[in-house]
Amino acid sequence: MKFFIDTANLDQIREAQDLGVLDGVTTNPSLMAKEGITGKDNIFKHYRKICDIVDGDVSAEVISTDYEGIIREGEELAELHEQIIVKVPMIKDGIKAIKYFSDKGIKTNCTLVFSAGQALLAAKAGATYVSPFIGRLDDISTDGLNLISEIRLIYDNYEFETQILAASVRHTMHVIDCAKLGADVMTGPLSSIEGLLKHPLTDIGLAKFLEDYNKGN
Ligand code: E4P
């Protein structure tokens, strides 16, 4: 299972990278705005900085919603760095653009996916990743994890190569459940990754081992 961090915050990206388990980064326009990164030039510079920190895939989202605009923007983003994955919204022109990018060998992440039907279309179009937003489904009393199971079943039935990127992961249990259900990737905040470290018996056990070791000194 690949671990992506869902942020545009460089310190957090560095921290996750230093842990040695990071496989990539996802961003979106809201995450960029949260870091105060605005305007195309600054946003492009920021993507380059992220690519310099991590070894893996970095999703960079287009803001156009028409076919020509998505193609223009996506090609510019793809040229920025070889690690860039063009993030395209799940809309009609987005699907057409994903097919175009797929034929040209440009990797894509189909974002804002909330149903199995949308995920099926993304795979048919040749998306590299599909991003079902599980946390946002949970927010409206719909089972986000169930969507991961449905997509896994459909993709396995037909051996689609599109990777399921569980997005909008909010906490550590989401990570564990997505792993059980066979998501290929998860993207979440640093806290969702670091939460995997924690167990009180580990802390108690370690304190006791150190205490006993020190008795002999
Ligand atoms: C995915 O690529 C999105 O950036 C992200 O996971 C959305 O998460 P949120 O619902 O916590 O904003």
Q: What is the pLDDT of residues 60-80, one digit of tens each?
A: 999 999 999 999 999 999 999
**What's the average model confidence in pLDDT over 39-64?**
97
What atom of ligand 1 comes closest to residue 109's alpha carbon? 2
Give the range of the structural domain holding residue 114, as residue numbers without chain letter: 2-216
Pick the closest to residue 61 from 90, 82, 36 (CA basis).
90
- 153: domain CATH number is 3.20.20.70
Contacts of 169 (CB under 8 A, 6+ apart): 6, 134, 135, 175, 178, 186, 187, 188, 189, 192
CA distance 147 to 19: 30
Task: Report the chain's mean pLDDT, rounded to a whole number.
Answer: 97
Reported confidence tier of residue 216, pLDDT bands at 50, 70, 90: confident
Q: Tell me the pLDDT tens digit for each residue of 29-45.
A: 999 999 999 999 999 99
Burial-class residue 64 by CB neighbours within 10 Å (0-12, 13-18, 19+).
middle
Q: Which of 4, 28, 108, 137 to mutate to test the pocket of ligand 1 (most atoms within 8 A of CB)?
A: 28
**What's the average model confidence in pLDDT over 11-18?**
97
Torsion of CA 110, 112, 115, 117, to 10 degrees: -40
Give the distance (Å) from ligand 1 centre to CA of residue 100.
25
- pLDDT reported for residue 48: 97
Torsion of CA 152, 156, 160, 161, to 10 degrees: 80
pTM score above 0.75 = yes
Indicate whether 23 pLDDT > 80.
Answer: yes
Report residue 156: phi and psi, to 5°.
Answer: -70, -35
Residue 87 is a catalytic residue: yes
Q: Which residues line ligand 1 (CB under 6 A)?
A: 6, 26, 28, 111, 131, 133, 135-136, 167-168, 187
Number of domains into which the chain is organized: 1
